[in-house]
A and B are shown apart, each in its own frame.
Chain A
Amino acid sequence: MAVTIVYLGPLADLAGEAPTSLPAPLDWNTLIDAVGEPLAAQLENDRVHVVCAGKVLADKRQLFAQDGDEVALLPPVSGG
């Protein structure tokens, strides 16, 4: 098992070769290193949110994903 990574909206366009699965446990710094540029710079933007196992993280830098978790990277919303 591992951590599944999901890129939403415009981040999906930037994802290119970025990993869709990373070893657990996964913390923020490991994620940033793994995705590389230009995604890493985007993820550091305060308007980018992170969901781990269905919960929006209040502080994405506290990410600590476990085996089987899905981590979604959410760019600024467009609204409906």
Chain B
Amino acid sequence: MRSRCCPRSVVAEPSLRIETPLDVRLKETGFSPGHPLGLFAKAHKESGGIASFVGQVRGGQAHALELSHYEPITLPAMRDLAEKTAERFALDGLLAWHRVGVMTPGQAIVLVAAAAPHRRAAFEATDSMMDHLKSAAWFWKRERRDDGWHWIEPRGQDHADLARWKTD
């Protein structure tokens, strides 16, 4: 039997490859946004601009946040949203990674990055993608406070933000 050069636990993240033009993932474990973002920029060298957003678990009264999803629809709906966003803003590429499971304050929940010929499209696509993910994606969220777990519903502001992108 061949031995490994080093234990699996200390091997750095396996070589990461960014899919183009769309890279949409649900992440069961924590990730560092800088790594995929750097590779996304590398994969879109011809683009005029890249905008990105990282959502993190807010510190404060919640000690932990748990996001649950439903496998058969959550990722397909995120892919569909990414396709529509890329088409609407004529993007060169779009990356959307979303955590599921239990997270603690400071950890990344979501990473969105948009590559476009010009900056405005990249900014707007990132903003639009986030507004849709915040209020219309198939996730259920609860947070653990001093007195136990509490389910969270979208804020009125999240729905108002989403309404900004209605085209009709």
Contacts and interface: CB of A to CB of B under 8 A. Distances in A.
Given A9-B68, A51-B73, A72-B70, A79 B137 contact: yes
Contact of A78 (B70, B72, B73, B140): B140
A2 interface: no
Contacts of A51: 70, 72-73
Given A9-B151, A72-B72, A80 B140 contact: no
A56 B73 contact: yes
B114 interface: no
Contacts of A9: 68, 140, 142, 151
A79 B98 contact: no
Contact of B139 (A54, A56, A78): A78
Contacts of B152: 78
Nearest to B158: A79
Q: Which of A10, A70, A74, A77 has most B Cβ within 10 Å?
A: A77
B133 A79 contact: yes
Nearest to A73: B70
A43 to B, nearest CB: 16
B154 A77 contact: yes
Contacts of B119: none
Interface string B127-162: 000000111111111100000000111100010000
Contacts of B133: 79-80
B55 interface: yes
Contacts of B73: 51, 54, 56, 72
14 contacts: A9-B140, A9-B151, A10-B151, A54-B72, A72-B70, A76-B153, A77-B137, A78-B139, A78-B140, A79-B133, A79-B134, A79-B137, A80-B67, A80-B137
